[in-house]
Amino acid sequence: MEKSKFLTSLVALLLVLPYANATLSIPKAKKHFVLVHRPCHGAWSWYKIVALMRSSGHNVTALDLGASGINPKQALEIPHFSDYLSPLMEFMSSLPAHEKVVLVGHEFGGLAISKAMENFPEKISVAVFVTALMPGLTPNATATLYNELLADTGVLTSLDNRVAYDNGPTNPPTTLSYGPKYLAVKLYDKSPIQDLALATTLVRPIYLYSVKDVSMEIVLSRKRYGSVRRVFIVAADDNLLKKEIQKRMIEKNPPDEVEVIQGSDHMTMMSKPLQLFTTLLVHGGCHGAWSWYKIVALMRYSGHDVTALDLSASVLVGHNFGCFAISKAMESFPEKIVFITALMPGPTLNASTVVYTQAFASTGVVSALDNRVA
């Protein structure tokens, strides 16, 4: 009786804040997330995800590909697709042999992470394609996909986009630059206006890599690329890489998991950062976060933003210690706590110690049934 009451009180429902870095020395399932941007963008496009990842204790690396973000190269200096990808390839090869990362690619960045999966399958625990190109293993898949992207989106001639002809007007165009109108209508249409403003100041031209160059660079095998676990995140309201295009890629080259983020424009990391963050944590294998998966799904279903935090290494310990983390968060951020049902140490002196001791005594958890201590 006492025991079931206690177990009921262990059910801690939801905390919504990315800031509750528990200062208790709980073993954390720390992960390393590596984020790869779409064309003309850079590491900067992930700034919200980087902040959320860091505040929840994970290691995160947002890379600039060639001539992107603050990479010192200019687009015309890197006319080969391999040069564009080289910052990611160098980073992957610099990782210690035993380290596995969660590799995340956005849109065209899907080709970059596919190449990394082929070259470094043993260093990737899961590859996440965020409304991204996912070429797959059929012959000529990359060329087909790249051609479809150019044709379906009409990106080269759309609205106020511009192409340059540095090799003369009779040769193919060399670079593409986005206009502010194109960014507003096709990419950032559901994102905060601040993020659109940021983008208009930071986008850079990209070299227009030939289909031949790209498809020769991205050659994938079942044994290597095919051995890496894949998750596809559908941006349901993407105005550039439309849902139908995303679905087509999923059908042609089915990943292990598909997640859909409703209300996301093309820039999921800008328009739906919390949902993307939570999805990355869950699929990145962050225990603690995944133990909330039912609550997260229900909360999302009822239209709320929800962030499940990665506080601990197991479900039971997560609940036990989670109550202290929540209490700590309540103390630090009283205005940010929405709803909590959990063990509550209370404001009396030594209350945490007493609750902690009682929890062990009343449940006898240390010696109960087939539990083991080492």
Ligand X SMILES: *[C@@H]1O[C@H](CO)[C@@H](O)[C@H](O)[C@H]1NC(C)=O
119 is an interface residue for ligand X by CB under 6 A = no
Q: 34 φ, ψ to 5°?
A: -120, 120
> Does 55 interact with ligand X (rule: CB under 6 A)?
no
Task: Give yes or no for residue 371 binding ligand X (CB under 6 A).
Answer: no
**How many other CB atoms sit within 10 Å of the CB of residue 98?**
7
State the minimum distance, in angstroms, from the CB of residue 196 to ligand X. Answer: 31
**Number of Cβ atoms within 10 Å of the Cβ of 272:** 25
Instruction: With beta carbons less than 8 A apart as the criterion, state whether 161 and 155 touch.
Output: yes
Q: Judged by CB under 6 A, which of 93, 138, 140, 167 binds ligand X? A: 140
Partner residues linked to 234 by β-bridges: 260
- Closest among 61, 2, 54 to 30, alpha carbons compared: 54
Pattern 65-94, binding to ligand X, x per CB under 6 A? ------------------------------
Binding mask 217-246 for ligand X (x = CB under 6 A): ------------------------------
**Residue 99 touching ligand X (CB under 6 A):** yes
H/E element, 279: helix 273-283
Applying CB under 6 A, which part among 13-21, 69-77, 143-151, 263-271 lies near ligand X?
143-151
Cα dihedral sign for 313, 315, 321, 322? positive
Nearer to ligand X, 147 or 153 (CB): 147
Query: 298 vs 361, which CB is nearer to ligand X?
Result: 361
196 is an interface residue for ligand X by CB under 6 A: no
For the CB of residue 49, give the shortest distance to ligand X in the complex, in Å.
15
Write out the two tokens for 150: 């150019």
**Any residues with CB less than 8 A from the CB of 95 and at least 6 apart, and which?**
101, 120, 123
Contact 112, 88 (CB under 8 A): yes
Amino acid at 354: V
Specify the stretch interacting with ligand X by CB under 6 A; choose among 138-146, 246-254, 271-279, 338-346. 138-146
- 355 lines the binding site for ligand X (CB under 6 A): no
The neighbour count for residue 117, using CB atoms within 10 Å, is: 24
| SS3 (DSSP) at 59 | strand
Q: Which of residues 74, 227, 353, 371 is near ligand X by CB under 6 A?
A: 353
Q: Which stretch binds ligand X (CB under 6 A): 116-124, 137-145, 201-209, 232-240?
A: 137-145
Note the residues at the interface with ligand X (CB under 6 A): 32, 59, 95, 99, 140, 143-144, 147, 350, 353-354, 357
